[in-house]
Structure 1
């Protein structure tokens, strides 16, 4: 029993874990906001694309990516030396010519390496020592390279990613354009210039062209202060502050060389270099002593390494610290930390939120495109309504007249048959016997009295109507043929009504069977479903109209078949029955007359009576109702067709609008997501 209870408890707990909705707690800040938006936009109801998932993940990486600081200026301002000073290591090549011809991203990595990215999208890795081979714009082979990424295991790069740019007066216009784009996107800018070059017209022109919008995030660094007196440095610094105040938030004179010399001799840097050196040597010797069973082969070099570390730890760094202070590099680091970082974070968050909203706008726009597909279809179905109703009314107007023509023809046939019958009612003599009373004591006697009666010459009627020239037969066949033509024409007219709808819907269908998303982050499945709907528009929409039309055609055909059968009924037999009726009527009236001649007379059928009886025997009342009644069968079919069409049209329009409303709801959800960003 307890085992069963345990199984049940486990099942309940598993069910709760699987189906109980857990509240998601997001971390604070922009990372949490991105994750929140990501979860909403990647909800299954949006059928999200892989491209959308990738771009949202990219936003997270972007948020986690270190602050970017660009180093720019005119060439030969010592950018590479300055960056080496910030990094405490001679990584970037330096020279007196415009060496840096490509954008170099300097990022944190677990080991030193160089990544070369080409315009084709391909990339390759190279040792960091080979960087000069890929940055010197004096080499023609550099035109295929898009940018370089240098990775180094330096703590400063965990917080800051430096971007070394080609000079804004580079020999390559494409490189200058690349630098312009970098300056727009980075969190901070360090404009590097030489003290003796600061304020010249060439620099002023470049600043005015490229730097007029970046003051709040730009530091002007005057390099090579070690070559000038304090008075010259102060004079130049004040001049630049005053003349270029609209371009820079701060102006700082430095000596990149002094800073590099000082930072390169810093204990931590020296220890790092020693560690790197001994590890390289160990790897090399280990490869040469793969069969050894101990590390004794490396004992001596390891002891030397330990002694070197001790010397570094105990050396006097007073002069080195003074050199670092005099270089003024700390002011640059303070500006990055206290001015660029807060603004960069704020700017990054603003840019990311703007991009997230832009993603929502793109998805909304794509859904509006899909809505346009369904809206166009419902508009077509609406616009067809008057045309279809008018076409159905025209069927009734046109073919009612033709049915009336058949009626007149049949009426003429009936009249001709009645007239021929009437003409062949002939007189004949007959006798009756009547007892006559004599006088007193006289005996009774039988008196023979002559009278006039009628008979119908049926043979002559049949001969004139049916046998000699088959006139009546031809008239009936002509009416049947006309009726068949009307049946075929109404059949086609009904099909033409359906074609009105089909043709308009087909025009709608053609472009939307091939509809594609405009932006890659939009849902592939949503557009696939839309294409599928358009491709299956017959099953989704047209089939209902088509079935209704075929149903109406079938009903009309059945009625025409009945009517055709009525016309094909033996009119000779109908005539025979009519003649027999009046022959019996004459005989019966004659019998009554013979009995009581004073009270009764022998009946002579009138032509209108014969016509009425012929029509009755022929079932002419139903034929007349079918052909001439204001509410004849064609009228009833058309009336039903219109009602049925309007009902189907409303249903299909509602069906399409329901599809459309699904996307309106998704747009509403996207707008709410956008509003919450």
Structure 2
């Protein structure tokens, strides 16, 4: 009796000193700080906490008619359980502490009810089929420290019973296999033990009941030796007891006789196994199971963040490379700009040749004064060829819209308007890059499907907010490219329109200037042919006049020189995209740094 009392006292002292509670609470707090824990995981934490101070849980298993109920009554010290409980119900019966003796029935549909204890003996098969399990509560001190599970066992024809029993064996702190001492070691029993119990040797005890049926200690030892050989490697310990004698000790009026019955029963050896073996092992196993369960929970949420973090690093690489234009394409664009200027010069040369070709020579009569031999003033008339520009016909020919010359200039204007547009279009859309990234990052829960929101809500809040707004990255880049395209369109169209307008004025101005120079030359020559020769226009003269009139240096600066339109466009694209890129990279890196901080904290918990 003292061993049982000592066991209960020590167990009660230990139950309030479990250091795992702080670990469980800290882990739950850490995960709750960053994630919205689902109800199932919250329940797991609650279960882990409740199980820390839970009584030692021992499963009692045995074949039919092996005396399990009598054995359990002997442990409890009261004849509470009716004989034949398992054969009648084939359901798990959990025996725990309660303020009064009562039976609670749990049904498969989730409901429960209360019933008298004799319900276990008279359960209707139809009703029994709807029952999940039982809980029997009794006001016994031992049950405050130990919960016993009376199980259906493994020799039932019902596969569900076997599955339930196997599940129980994994969860309990100890296993007691009850066998009849005079019928131990049958092949069927050994097969069951080998298949289901041997994996749990460290926490398993074999009780050979009804030793009182044997004649003497020699027969008991013979049965024990046989059992040890038959069950080799399956149990941590094998003992022989008499549950009947243990119960009989309670009914004896003579204290000495009661003590003798109790000692002869050897039930104390069961309590010694519980006290010296299972109780210390429970604490170790409980710590192992608790830490394992915590690691599993943390790992679940670690993966929820670790996997997105991998894809965020890939996005970082995509962002870092976006806006770095291809140097070959940039050089090709610069070459196109210079080609446009060369084309402008070529058009000016053609125009120069056209104007020059319109200049004709006509014969004009001039007078020249001179003194004769007598000193008298005389006038001599002579003819001389003079350059003439038929102004009206030339202007009409050069400014006629259907002229081949004007058609060639219109091609140049069009080329100016379209300059750079294809280059801008060839820059990959960040929206497409982001869409491809999302396809990989979101996997089976893409944006726009019912699975997207639940996935997002499973992530930390800071990541939820960012992920919901990732489309703004593409919008920002798209907005920048739209502004660049609009600005380029405006500049190239203005340049083409300016050239068109300037060309018309330049042609008229050069023709008027040529006509004026020819006329002034004739007038000056008429007055003093010795001092003022006739004006003779050359192609170089006309070309210089056209270049000045059209402002060729302006177009040279914008199409050919260092700061030409191509280089300016490349610099604008690179600098503007870089500005947006760095802004989003800064946010992304801050986000990833926060993720790394959380992942680091989760790693520490898993160690």
Deviation for aligned residue 1:586 = 3.4
Q: How do 1:396-411 residues align onto structure 2 when only pairs under 5 Å count?
A: 397=332, 401=336, 404=339, 408=343, 411=346
User: Gaps (5+ residues) in structure 2?
Assistant: 1-15
Deviation for aligned residue 1:157 = 0.8
Q: How do 1:109-258 residues align onto structure 2 when only pairs under 5 Å count?
A: 109-133=98-122, 139=125, 141-231=127-217, 232-258=219-245
The answer to whether the 8 A contact 1:396-1:638 is kept is no
Report the Cα distance in structure 1 between the residues aligned to 2:169 and 2:288, rounded to whole angstroms: 17
> 1:365 maps to which residue?
303
Report the Cα distance in structure 2 between the residues aligned to 1:623 and 1:225, rounded to whole angstroms: 116
The answer to whether the 8 A contact 1:67-1:345 is kept is no
Which of residues 81, 96, 115 in structure 2 aligns to 1:107?
A: 96
The answer to whether the 8 A contact 1:221-1:251 is kept is yes
> 1:389 maps to which residue?
325
Q: How do 1:40-51 residues align onto structure 2 when only pairs under 5 Å count?
A: 40-42=29-31, 44-46=33-35, 48-51=37-40
Match of 1:182, SS state, is helix
Q: How do 1:502-513 residues align onto structure 2 when only pairs under 5 Å count?
A: 502-510=431-439
Is 1:604 aligned to residue 539 of structure 2? no
> 1:566 maps to which residue?
498
The answer to whether the 8 A contact 2:367-2:381 is kept is yes
* Structure 1 residues 644 and 251: CA distance shift in structure 2, 3 A: same
Match of 1:191, SS state, is strand
> 2:313 maps to which residue?
375
> 2:11 maps to which residue?
none
The answer to whether the 8 A contact 1:98-1:167 is kept is no
Which of residues 72, 81, 86 in structure 1 aligns to 2:61?
A: 72
**TM-score (structure 1 length as normaliser):** 0.76
The answer to whether the 8 A contact 2:207-2:240 is kept is yes
The answer to whether the 8 A contact 1:476-1:567 is kept is no
Report the Cα distance in structure 2 between the residues aligned to 1:126 and 1:512, rounded to whole angstroms: 55
> 2:84 maps to which residue?
95
Report the Cα distance in structure 1 between the residues aligned to 2:138 and 2:439, rounded to whole angstroms: 57
Match of 2:153, SS state, is coil
Deviation for aligned residue 1:74 = 2.0
The number of residues matched between the two structures is 584
**TM-score (structure 2 length as normaliser):** 0.84
The answer to whether the 8 A contact 1:515-1:527 is kept is no
Residues 222-261 of structure 1: CA deviation (Å, up to 9, x unaligned): 1112222223223322432455353333332222223234
The answer to whether the 8 A contact 2:91-2:132 is kept is yes
Is 1:465 aligned to residue 401 of structure 2? no
Q: How do 1:627-642 residues align onto structure 2 when only pairs under 5 Å count?
A: 627=559, 632-642=564-574
Is 1:526 aligned to residue 459 of structure 2? yes
Report the Cα distance in structure 2 between the residues aligned to 1:51 and 1:197, rounded to whole angstroms: 46
Q: Does 186-195 or 651-660 show the bigger shift?
A: 651-660
Deviation for aligned residue 1:170 = 2.4
Which of residues 609, 616, 619 in structure 1 aligns to 2:551?
A: 619
* Structure 1 residues 522 and 355: CA distance shift in structure 2, 3 A: farther
Is 1:494 aligned to residue 430 of structure 2? no
* Structure 1 residues 606 and 363: CA distance shift in structure 2, 3 A: same
Is 1:426 aligned to residue 415 of structure 2? no
Report the Cα distance in structure 1 between the residues aligned to 2:509 and 2:230, rounded to whole angstroms: 126
> 2:4 maps to which residue?
none
Match of 1:168, SS state, is coil
User: Gaps (5+ residues) in structure 1?
Assistant: 1-26, 267-314
The answer to whether the 8 A contact 2:98-2:139 is kept is yes
Deviation for aligned residue 1:633 = 0.7
Deviation for aligned residue 1:118 = 3.8
The answer to whether the 8 A contact 1:223-1:253 is kept is yes
* Structure 1 residues 510 and 468: CA distance shift in structure 2, 3 A: closer
> 1:302 maps to which residue?
none
The answer to whether the 8 A contact 1:105-1:163 is kept is yes
Report the Cα distance in structure 2 between the residues aligned to 1:173 and 1:30, rounded to whole angstroms: 39
Is 1:29 aligned to residue 18 of structure 2? yes
Is 1:343 aligned to residue 281 of structure 2? yes
* Structure 1 residues 530 and 142: CA distance shift in structure 2, 3 A: farther
> 1:277 maps to which residue?
none
> 1:6 maps to which residue?
none
Match of 2:87, SS state, is coil
Q: Does 185-194 or 85-94 show the bigger shift?
A: 85-94
Report the Cα distance in structure 2 between the residues aligned to 1:504 and 1:622, rounded to whole angstroms: 40
* Structure 1 residues 145 and 465: CA distance shift in structure 2, 3 A: same
Match of 1:77, SS state, is coil
> 2:268 maps to which residue?
330
Report the Cα distance in structure 2 between the residues aligned to 1:54 and 1:346, rounded to whole angstroms: 23
Deviation for aligned residue 1:566 = 1.7
* Structure 1 residues 472 and 413: CA distance shift in structure 2, 3 A: farther
* Structure 1 residues 467 and 594: CA distance shift in structure 2, 3 A: same
Match of 1:604, SS state, is coil
Report the Cα distance in structure 2 between the residues aligned to 1:213 and 1:201, rounded to whole angstroms: 18
Q: Does 194-203 or 567-576 show the bigger shift?
A: 567-576
Match of 2:118, SS state, is helix
Report the Cα distance in structure 2 between the residues aligned to 1:570 and 1:350, rounded to whole angstroms: 89
Report the Cα distance in structure 2 between the residues aligned to 1:60 and 1:482, rounded to whole angstroms: 77
Report the Cα distance in structure 2 between the residues aligned to 1:560 and 1:522, rounded to whole angstroms: 48
Deviation for aligned residue 1:463 = 3.7
Residues 10-40 of structure 1: CA deviation (Å, up to 9, x unaligned): xxxxxxxxxxxxxxxxx85334443553365
Deviation for aligned residue 1:510 = 4.3
Match of 1:389, SS state, is coil
Q: Once superposed, what is the RMSD of the aligned Cα atoms?
A: 3.7
Report the Cα distance in structure 1 between the residues aligned to 2:85 and 2:339, rounded to whole angstroms: 107
Which of residues 42, 47, 70 in structure 2 aligns to 1:81?
A: 70
Is 1:262 aligned to residue 249 of structure 2? yes
* Structure 1 residues 574 and 234: CA distance shift in structure 2, 3 A: closer
Report the Cα distance in structure 1 between the residues aligned to 2:489 and 2:224, rounded to whole angstroms: 102
> 1:655 maps to which residue?
587
Q: Does 124-133 or 102-111 show the bigger shift?
A: 124-133
Deviation for aligned residue 1:408 = 3.2
Residues 111-165 of structure 1: CA deviation (Å, up to 9, x unaligned): 333333344444444333323355x8xx354344332222222211110011111
Report the Cα distance in structure 1 between the residues aligned to 2:528 and 2:316, rounded to whole angstroms: 82
The answer to whether the 8 A contact 1:49-1:522 is kept is no
> 2:9 maps to which residue?
none
